[in-house]
Homo-oligomer: A and B are copies of this chain.
């Protein structure tokens, strides 16, 4: 589409703007990247690039800045893959893989490392229990009216809850119910657990059954809140685009809308590999000055979640893509290994 020189100019402008956050003028380009042409020639190229919609001019006597469309072209066709130094990669893998973290903790740690590595906000969607399979259900009587219920979900969640009952139970009764429940649920996914199965549980297991069903339903509803989280928000405050506190506040508020984040991230999760959502491509207004880079992660061959970073549209896309990819791979490895 674009001839070679236009590509070079566009790349030079984006690289420079990403670094300095200042509109880029023709002289700057000519001086810093020697393309062997004069500023005037570059001006002509810039005018063309603006006409196609890849560049914008904040005002007539300023330099150019990339448009969302410009960034899109950069991401799709222009940027060179970023590689982290081997030592950096090893450091991260070591921190994540060596420690014997529980999966939940490991994800939190991954979010932190990603935020640190990219100096921006990291986003994680943890596996939802909806798509997980019951592996083991266990009820233990602690006291006559106090029961500990433990759910092991495949491939990676353990949940438990203390239940109080009005009725008193004996250890044998509870053990029996526990076993029966196990038979009924084993191998089913959380989502398949339709109303019929729930009703069966209620009718078969009396009070315990009722309480359990309550907990399951309520657990699913609550889960969304915890399922997605953002870390490292303070990083982004140092970016010049947030020198205006209003905008920072708006973004921070948006980051607390978990359901919106979930929508954005699970939308991106439909395709595989690293996804980039640039500025206005995002349908949520408060995010339209930001870009999001995401990637799904796996347990074995199953997609179980998404992680990514969020920053101003003026971000180092190559680095972000590399970081998100690295982290997704590492997390997948970790979870798969954990689950064997």
Contact = CB atoms under 8 A, between A and B. Distances in A.
B150 A142 contact: no
A107 to B, nearest CB: 12
A40 interface: no
Contact of A234 (B152, B218, B249): B249
Given A100-B214, A100-B215, A249 B233 contact: no
A102 interface: yes
A144 to B, nearest CB: 12
A144 B245 CA distance: 57
Contacts of A135: 142
Interface stretch (A158-166, A271-279, A289-297): A158-166
A340 interface: yes
A242 to B, nearest CB: 6
A238 B100 CA distance: 41
Nearest to A157: B162
Contacts of A102: 161-162
Interface in A97-154: 99-102, 105, 108, 135-136, 138, 140, 142, 148, 150, 152
Interface of A: 99-102, 105, 108, 135-136, 138, 140, 142, 148, 150, 152, 158, 160-162, 164, 214-215, 218, 222, 225-226, 233-234, 237-238, 242-243, 245, 248-249, 252-253, 255-256, 338, 340
